[in-house]
Amino acid sequence: MAVFLLFLLSSVSCLATALAQQSHLNISLGSSLTPTGNSSSWSSHSGLFAFGFYQQGNGYAVGIYLAGIPGKTVIWTANRLSPVFPSNVSLVLSSDGRLILQHTQGQDIVIADPSESISSASMLDSGNFVLYNSDKKIVWQSFEDPTNTLLPGQQLATGHELYSSVSETDDSTGIFRIKMQDDGNLVQYPVRKPDTSEYAYYASNTFGNGVTLNLDGDGHLYLINSSLTILSNLTKGGYPQDGRVYMAKIDVDGIFRLYSYSSNHGNRSILWESVEDKCAPKGLCGPNGFCTMMDNVSECRCPPGFDFVNPGNWSSGCERNFTAESCKSNSITNVKYEIRSLENTVWEDNAFATMETSTQEDCEKQCLDDCNCEAAFYKDGECRKQKLPLTYGKRTSDSNVALVKVGTLASISEGVIPSSPPKSIKKEIRVDILVIGISLAVFGVMISVIAGVYVHRNQVRAYKKITQNGNVEYVEDAAPKAFTFDELEVATNDFREELGRGAFGAVYKGVFPNSGKVVAVKKLEKLLVEGEKEFQNEIRVIGRTHHRNLVQLLGYCLDGNKRLLVYEYMSNGSLGNILFKPENHPWWDERIRIASDVARGILYLHEECETQIIHCDIKPENILMDDSRCAKISDFGLAKPLDHDRTRTYTAVRGTRGYVAPEWHRNLPVTVKADVYSYGILLLEIICCRKNVDSRFPEEQSILEVWAYDCFVDGELHKLVGEEEAVDMTKLERMIRIALWCIQNEPTLRPSMKKVVLMLEGTVDVPVPPSPDSFFSAM
């Protein structure tokens, strides 16, 4: 009976799919698309799906995406090994029956080449792009070659796999896969690893012949065998279908998820995840990196003594920030080492030696005394020595202590030149060789002095030339590179593409012709006192900072009266563009991550960089988003560095109205708590995806901080986020509490940014906040 009902349901599903296929727009042979022309895609009958070009980085990719929902969610990508193409290509349904990508220069790329000749194509309302023969029989379809996503009516057949993307903005093949194995088990692995249990991080534990993974239109995700017996219901289904699109996707972070999309608003919610532990995917943080959970969001970190290989791509892992010695018997080194410990942290155990030791200190000494030991794991009296790279690292509740050998700062600064050669290579030194050596050394010193004087004189001339119009004492200790105006004029194509405009000038997109590196060039236009001060401030402040949540200053230009700054290019624009446009609203988990990113960036400025810095202008427009939608703080023109022995300063009002702390208007000393206030306002805007002051709302809702406090007191926080989105109400209340504490009228009541970060992580309780009463005093 159960089999019959299942057969009946499958028949209904097939009938629905057939009906969807009948309602389509015919694409005839010879039809073509171009990335930048009027015809860049072929739409389905309803307009929900489209096949064609979509923008990817600085080029265009070919794929299928949700055209009827804001955001262009991509569900299938062609040529994933190298999916990005320039604008001078065209996609053609050729007369010989192939779907090809034609270059104006270069070899054509075949997207689909079915064994039978074709007569037409169609983008179906099911999300399936199909090629037909003359009998209207499907001879090729995207549903049979999925990339990272399954749609209703689509199967993941036995032996087939889905692969994650590299990032949210790069649909190339990523580092995770999910495979429907021949034995009937649905398993997730890292790429380039064998199908063995030691590398698996999710398994359905189902077994049988001809097992397939299926998704129905009501969100029912299940595994079924060749006898039509359901082996496992991953979801129960029965979800609403009106105005909803369901899809199962292996995400960038390696987790397989079932999503529900609202076709009306574009909001999405997660209905199911393959693993609860966001750090479970093996290889997420790359070699030597380790994963930790921050408020239910995974984050990669490097152990002490290591830096990210590529800060924008965590999966590239971490590398030493010092030069290690060689373990060869005749090596000469002066590197000194110390052990840094990481509690509750584990990597894959590939010990080359194991010892029983009584204490952790004994294990540390054992590793320090062994040149081949680069790390060790200590647990319950056992010391297990390791070599690099360390793999699959994560924070756990395990009592394991990871001991990492790192070079001390003293040894790194001393270099690796020994004071005397080791005994094994000492030799008798002849007097004649000694005399010649000393003579050569003296001659070398003389040449160096002459060259140094010559270089210094040239530098002095150049310095005088570029400083004739202003004080530039900051240039000496500015790490960023100096550019000429001509170089930046070429890179920006004569300042053609404006990205944005601020109080002191505009920002333009640029590309350096030799390297192809994309940058953002800020051109200061008000070169009076304010503009010159802002220019000096930005170089002095951001030139000394380095943090993944701060925009990196790459260089500057001092050319006569021209002042320009060169930054890393942030492809996703400002946080304001994302928050305040309904079609771009970030989903709830992403908003939590953005709030955490900004908080960590401010914490670095306040407590972790060489000079304590008050940013003075924290607002959405000064938070920029990179390719991975990582939030980074920018615009340090108004920042106020503090001397080491000062914690407050008196200064003129700085910042943007609505984000400025009340003390600015009272001629009171300003501390880092001014940034905390601005962050509190920003946090409310991130939570609610709206501006703090917005006259379009009813009067009682027009001032966000007032309305947020009213909703908090009345227990109606759901009003702040709307009904369409699946929001964790416990997290929502915690974030509202944090924001209300940050915007307290009295600076001493506001938490430090360190405490804010801890509260966001959930490691510190957030008490009930009093009424802020700060809005009108801050205006």
Name the residue with tokens 């080449």.
Answer: 113
Contact between 189 and 179 under an 8 Å Cβ cutoff? The reply is yes
Measured CA to CA, the distance from residue 405 to residue 378 in angstroms comes to: 13
Task: Provide, for the chain, the percentages of residues in helix, strand and coil under a 3-state DSSP scheme, each rounded to the nearest 5.
Answer: 25, 30, 45
Q: Which of 81-119 are b and which e, b meaning 16 or more Cβ less than 10 Å from the residue's Cβ? A: eebbbeeebbbbbbeebbbbbbeeeeeebebbebeeebb
| 3-state DSSP assignment of residue 574 | strand
Q: Report residue 361 CA to chain centroid gap.
A: 38
Strands 290-294 and 393-395: parallel
760, two tokens? 């966001």
H-helix or E-strand containing 254?
A: none
Contact between 302 and 288 under an 8 Å Cβ cutoff? The reply is yes
Measured CA to CA, the distance from residue 739 to residue 684 in angstroms comes to: 6
Computed from CA positions of residues 185, 189, 191, 192, in that sequence, does the dihedral angle turn out positive or negative? Answer: negative
Contact between 518 and 569 under an 8 Å Cβ cutoff? The reply is yes
Q: Indicate the angle between helix axes 729-742 and 753-761, nearest 10 degrees.
A: 170
In the set 253, 617, 626, 635, the catalytic residue is: 617
| 3-state DSSP assignment of residue 559 | strand
DSSP string, 721-739: T-SSS---HHHHHHHHHHH
| Number of Cβ atoms within 10 Å of the Cβ of 530 | 14
Determine if residue 447 is left, alpha or beta; phi over 0 gives left, psi from -120 to 50 gives alpha, anything else beta: alpha
Name the residue with tokens 């030791």.
Answer: 357
Counting DSSP H helices and E strands in the chain, the numbers are 13, 45
Q: How far is CA 116 from CA 131, 137, 146, in A?
A: 10, 10, 21
Measured CA to CA, the distance from residue 155 to residue 139 in angstroms comes to: 17
291, two tokens? 């994963």
350, two tokens? 């590939």
Strands 138-141 and 129-132: antiparallel
In 191-243 the beta strands, taken as DSSP E runs, fall at 202-203, 212-215, 221-224, 230-233
Measured CA to CA, the distance from residue 756 to residue 737 in angstroms comes to: 11
Measured CA to CA, the distance from residue 100 to residue 111 in angstroms comes to: 5
Contact between 743 and 687 under an 8 Å Cβ cutoff? The reply is no
The 32-33 sheet, strands edge to edge? 32-33, 89-93, 99-103, 109-112
**Cα-Cα end-to-end distance for the chain:** 71
Query: Active site includes 617?
Result: yes
Q: Report residue 67 CA to chain centroid gap.
A: 25
Q: Which residues are catalytic?
A: 617
